[in-house]
Amino acid sequence: MYAQKRPIENTHIVRERDRRRFRELFSVVVLGLFIGGFLIIFTWQNLSVIRLGHEATRLQQRKKELENTNKALRLQIDRLTALGSVEQRASTLGFEKTDPRAVVMVERSSQLAASREPQAASLSEKH
């Protein structure tokens, strides 16, 4: 009933490579690598744009914070250097107002020399 098959020994037979199929496979692999490379570059570029956008937003917020801090510091300087504030601080420290006649004005030497030159010139013209 059953026919027994003899095992075929074909280990010595070598199949020839199909050159057309190899070229097709090679071209598909090259095309796949090209498309994959393009997608990787495209993704990298988009991620860089997103990262730079986040960094620009962060820097704009930082700039705004610094401007607000600068404005607050300028207001504080104006408040602390106002004449009324200085007088009040001086009175709390025990300073008293001086007589305006007791104030001695001191000039810088460069200003003094510059102010004496016109005087010297006017004196030499008189003589």
List, for residues 89-114, the tens digit of each pLDDT value. 899 999 888 888 888 888 887 755 66
Q: Is residue 91 part of a domain?
A: yes
Query: Distance between CA atoms of 79 and 71, rounded to whole angstroms?
Result: 12
Q: Which domain holds residue 46?
A: 19-98
Q: Is residue 122 part of a domain?
A: no
pLDDT class for 66, splitting at 50, 70, 90?
very high
CB 79 within 8 A of CB 85: yes
- Which pLDDT value is given to residue 105? 82
Question: Left if phi > 0, otherwise alpha if psi is -120 to 50, otherwise beta: which for 15?
Answer: beta
pLDDT at 35 over 90: yes
DSSP annotation of 5 reads P
- Which pLDDT value is given to residue 113? 61
Q: Is 72 or 117 the better-scoring residue by pLDDT?
A: 72
Q: Is residue 13 part of a domain?
A: no
Q: Is residue 34 part of a domain?
A: yes
pLDDT at 47 over 90: yes
| Largest interatomic CA distance in the chain | 156
Q: What is the total count of domains within the chain?
A: 1
This prediction has a pTM of 0.49
